[in-house]
């Protein structure tokens, strides 16, 4: 049974630790919930569209999910948990246990844990324990216990007054556990994440133990006279009945009187065969179960409070505390009807092993509803038909939108696929011998030359940025190469910008579903600006660089900047070392 002081200690630790855990969650919600200039919602746990978290053996499922062929994202790669623990180790048997602060009883251990999913995980756990016990009442039923009857006058069965013995023991235990753990409070309907995880577990324990008793003092003499003195002081005059307070006094006087040698091997079943790897220790298999609570300290760290019980399977063993004989007044020995069990109450510190860039936290810390709620709040994974963008005249405008489907090759076209007419005189630019004819000089002749005297107005038309219409540049999937049809479109935009030297153009790259899409969006915008600068002679300072916007991930939009609109000429690449 767990001492009340442990329960109080656990409550205090939990109250202190929960506050920073939940404070951390509320602060990280704002920081991680939204990202980028467009405030696109990413989710609190991780970006489920990001393939860097998906291991190779589950990439097939992730690709189907990304292509809208399967409704469920692949399970991400998640971290391992390792931990150490320390606490109270007890044997629940015939002799009352001593507490940690009353005689050196303790246990320590370490474990490795791996998540199987959001609810279940497995854990390999090793514990080493020293359990001690000391009885507050005397005993006469030790005649059959070989650890005591060699040094004390045992029960003769004739009612004679014999030596009093106060049972004690020291047991060393090596315990290897394999646990199946279940935790469910990470599934949250009204909160993104949890700061405290409650869990239960069942499993098997392999236990190797050896017990000793402290029957002799430092001179290898029995404690008969000292035991008799304590018996006479507390029991003889009270017919064996003492108060609860006197029980603690008895145990304190016994601890002060005895040394700490535990020099005598406790009784054991001599017929049991022991494997050589365990030495003199007896090996058994127990069932194990328990409850625990973890308190998040940081993404990689958490504090754990846990109670483990190891219970015998089948007939079990009644010698973990070195005693199995019940009190009796007849010659026939009586074995106790109970078997011994083990318990370990511990406080542990756990650490999650793994890189944040490749692995998420163990799944029992993540909320599986995060994906569903995120998608409902800001849909990104929509089912769209594969685009059919046939372009017979290769002018960059799909046939479905092309109002001039037979434009000659290499001719600059507008957004409708018709040859560009910068000055609006009815003569396409590729045939116009006077590219910019003032309005007052129109109508023009067949060559696009206006009919007006030469004056300052002949030098060019009134320039307005609205003369640069919006256009969409379509790239091949997984490519940032400028295609021939794209070159024609860019030549048109270059001519428009040269005709409007005071206007700027915003180049907007789409694609923000993953790190790869964001980097490719940047590559395409950069490729367009470099091409316009190097091939068409347009000053880089006349472009505004934008990337990573929502929209068709294989397209880039170009539009004239609004009056007063400013922006960067270039920006650093988001993921320059990302494998293409």
The per-residue pLDDT for 441 is 76
CA neighbor of 172 nearest in space, from 22, 6, 312, 321: 321
Question: Does the pLDDT at position 17 exceed 70?
Answer: no
Mean pLDDT score, 348-352? 96
- Residue 565 or residue 170, greater confidence: 170
Residues 6+ apart with CB under 8 A from 231: 138, 164
The per-residue pLDDT for 26 is 38
Token pair, residue 570, equals 């270039």
Mean pLDDT score, 474-500? 86
Residue 334's pLDDT band, with cuts at 50, 70 and 90, is low
Are the beta carbons of 464 and 501 closer than 8 angstroms? no
37-51, 221-235, 477-491, 522-536: segment of lowest average pLDDT: 37-51
Residue 44's pLDDT band, with cuts at 50, 70 and 90, is low
Are the beta carbons of 259 and 221 closer than 8 angstroms? no
Residue 394's pLDDT band, with cuts at 50, 70 and 90, is confident
pLDDT, the chain, mean: 81
Residues 6+ apart with CB under 8 A from 70: 61, 64
The per-residue pLDDT for 23 is 39
- Residue 410 or residue 209, greater confidence: 209
The per-residue pLDDT for 579 is 64
- The CA distance from 36 to 380, in Å, is 15
First to last CA, the chain: 60
The per-residue pLDDT for 40 is 36
Interstrand relation of 543-549 and 505-510 (parallel, antiparallel or unpaired): parallel
113-122, 238-247, 525-534: segment of lowest average pLDDT: 238-247
CA neighbor of 236 nearest in space, from 167, 161, 168: 161
The per-residue pLDDT for 277 is 58
Are the beta carbons of 474 and 459 closer than 8 angstroms? no
81-90, 149-158, 238-247, 479-488: segment of lowest average pLDDT: 149-158
Q: In CATH, which of 3.40.225.10, 3.30.70.20, 3.20.20.70, 3.30.1330.60 is domain 390-423+461-580?
A: 3.30.1330.60
Residues 6+ apart with CB under 8 A from 214: 168, 170, 258, 259, 260, 261, 262, 263, 264
Are the beta carbons of 305 and 293 closer than 8 angstroms? yes
The per-residue pLDDT for 315 is 73
- The CA distance from 474 to 557, in Å, is 9
pLDDT tens-place string over residues 439-463: 667 777 877 787 776 554 444 444 5
The per-residue pLDDT for 37 is 34
Are the beta carbons of 312 and 286 closer than 8 angstroms? yes
The per-residue pLDDT for 421 is 79
Residues 6+ apart with CB under 8 A from 49: 66, 73, 380, 381, 513, 514
The per-residue pLDDT for 306 is 96
Token pair, residue 111, equals 């474990």
The per-residue pLDDT for 283 is 87
Percent share of the chain, pLDDT over 90: 31
Question: Does the pLDDT at position 378 exceed 80?
Answer: no
- The CA distance from 518 to 512, in Å, is 5
Mean pLDDT score, 374-381? 76
Q: How far is CA 410 from CA 50, 132, 344, 431, in A?
A: 39, 93, 81, 13
Are the beta carbons of 418 and 437 closer than 8 angstroms? no
142-146, 285-289, 365-369: segment of lowest average pLDDT: 142-146
Question: Does the pLDDT at position 15 exceed 80?
Answer: no
pLDDT tens-place string over residues 228-260: 888 888 887 776 678 888 888 999 999 999 998
Question: Does the pLDDT at position 167 exceed 50?
Answer: yes
- The CA distance from 348 to 281, in Å, is 27
Percent share of the chain, pLDDT over 70: 82
Matching fold, domains 4-42+79-365 and 390-423+461-580: no
- Residue 512 or residue 238, greater confidence: 512
Question: Does the pLDDT at position 203 exceed 70?
Answer: yes
CA neighbor of 342 nearest in space, from 319, 365, 366: 319
Q: How far is CA 441 from CA 271, 421, 422, 423, 431, in A?
A: 120, 16, 15, 11, 18
Residue 332's pLDDT band, with cuts at 50, 70 and 90, is low
Domain boundaries, the chain: 4-42+79-365, 390-423+461-580
The per-residue pLDDT for 207 is 92
Residues 6+ apart with CB under 8 A from 19: none
Residues 6+ apart with CB under 8 A from 291: 198, 199, 200, 201, 306, 307
Mean pLDDT score, 28-50? 51
The CATH architecture of the domain made up of 4-42+79-365 is: Beta Barrel (2.40)
- Residue 387 or residue 170, greater confidence: 170
The per-residue pLDDT for 384 is 59
Token pair, residue 358, equals 């490749």
Token pair, residue 310, equals 């190891």
Residue 161's pLDDT band, with cuts at 50, 70 and 90, is low
pLDDT tens-place string over residues 273-330: 455 556 678 888 999 999 999 999 988 999 999 999 999 887 777 888 888 876 654 4
CA atoms within 13 A on the CB side of 520: 21
Question: Does the pLDDT at position 338 exceed 80?
Answer: no
Residues 6+ apart with CB under 8 A from 286: 204, 205, 207, 310, 311, 312, 313, 316, 341, 342
Question: Does the pLDDT at position 30 exceed 60?
Answer: no
């Amino acid at each position: 049974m767990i001492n009340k002081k442990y329960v109080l200690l656990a409550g205090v630790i939990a109250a202190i630790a929960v506050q920073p855990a939940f404070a951390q969650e509320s602060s990280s919600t704002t920081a991680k919930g939204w990202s980028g200039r467009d405030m696109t919602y990413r989710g609190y746990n991780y970006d489920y569209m990001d393939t860097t978290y998906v291991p190779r053996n589950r990439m097939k499922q992730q690709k189907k999910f990304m292509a809208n062929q399967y409704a469920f994202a692949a399970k991400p790669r998640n971290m391992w948990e390792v931990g150490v623990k320390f606490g109270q180790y007890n044997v629940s048997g015939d002799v009352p246990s001593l507490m940690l602060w009353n005689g050196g009883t303790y246990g320590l251990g370490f474990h490795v844990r791996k998540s199987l999913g959001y609810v279940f995980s497995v854990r390999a756990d090793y514990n080493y324990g020293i359990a001690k016990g000391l009885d507050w009442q005397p005993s006469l039923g030790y005649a059959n216990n070989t650890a005591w009857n060699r040094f004390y006058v045992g029960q003769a069965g004739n009612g004679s007054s014999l030596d009093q013995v106060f049972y004690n023991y020291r047991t060393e235990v090596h315990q290897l556990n394999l646990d199946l753990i279940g935790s469910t409070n990470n599934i949250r309907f009204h909160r993104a994440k949890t700061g405290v995880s409650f869990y239960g577990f069942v499993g098997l324990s392999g236990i190797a133990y050896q017990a000793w008793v402290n029957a002799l003092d430092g001179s290898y003499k029995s404690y008969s006279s000292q035991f008799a003195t304590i018996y006479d002081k507390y029991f003889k005059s009270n017919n064996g009945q003492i108060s609860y307070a006197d029980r603690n006094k008895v145990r304190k006087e016994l601890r002060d009187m005895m040394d700490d040698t535990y020099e005598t091997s406790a009784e054991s079943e001599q017929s049991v065969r022991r494997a050589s790897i365990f030495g003199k220790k007896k090996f058994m298999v127990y069932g194990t179960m328990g409850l625990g609570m973890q308190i998040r300290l940081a993404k990689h760290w958490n504090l754990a409070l846990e109670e483990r019980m190891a219970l015998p399977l089948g007939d079990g063993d009644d010698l973990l505390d070195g005693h199995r004989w019940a009190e009796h007044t007849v010659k026939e020995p009586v074995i106790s009807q109970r078997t011994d069990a083990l318990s370990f109450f511990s406080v542990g510190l756990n650490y999650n092993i793994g890189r944040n860039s490749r692995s998420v936290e163990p799944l029992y810390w993540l909320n599986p509803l995060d994906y569903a709620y995120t998608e409902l709040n800001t849909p990104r994974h929509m089912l769209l038909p594969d685009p059919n963008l046939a372009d017979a005249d290769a002018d960059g405008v799909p046939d479905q939108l092309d109002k001039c489907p037979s434009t000659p090759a290499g001719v600059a076209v507008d957004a409708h696929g018709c040859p560009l007419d910068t000055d609006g005189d009815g003569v396409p630019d590729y045939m116009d011998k006077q590219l910019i004819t003032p309005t007052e000089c129109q109508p023009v002749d067949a060559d696009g030359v206006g009919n007006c005297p030469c004056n300052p107005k002949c030098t060019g038309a009134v320039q307005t940025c609205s003369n640069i219409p919006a256009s969409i540049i379509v790239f091949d999937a997984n490519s940032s190469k400028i295609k021939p049809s794209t070159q024609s479109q860019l030549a048109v935009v270059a001519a428009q910008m040269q005709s409007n030297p005071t206007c700027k153009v915003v180049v907007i790259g789409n694609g923000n579903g993953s790190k790869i899409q964001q980097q490719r969006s940047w590559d395409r915008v950069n490729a367009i600006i470099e091409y316009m600068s190097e091939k068409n002679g347009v000053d880089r300072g006349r472009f505004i660089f934008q990337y990573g916007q929502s929209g068709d991930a294989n397209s880039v939009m170009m539009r004239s900047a609004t009056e007063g609109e400013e922006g960067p000429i270039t920006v650093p690449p988001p993921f320059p070392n990302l494998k293409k």
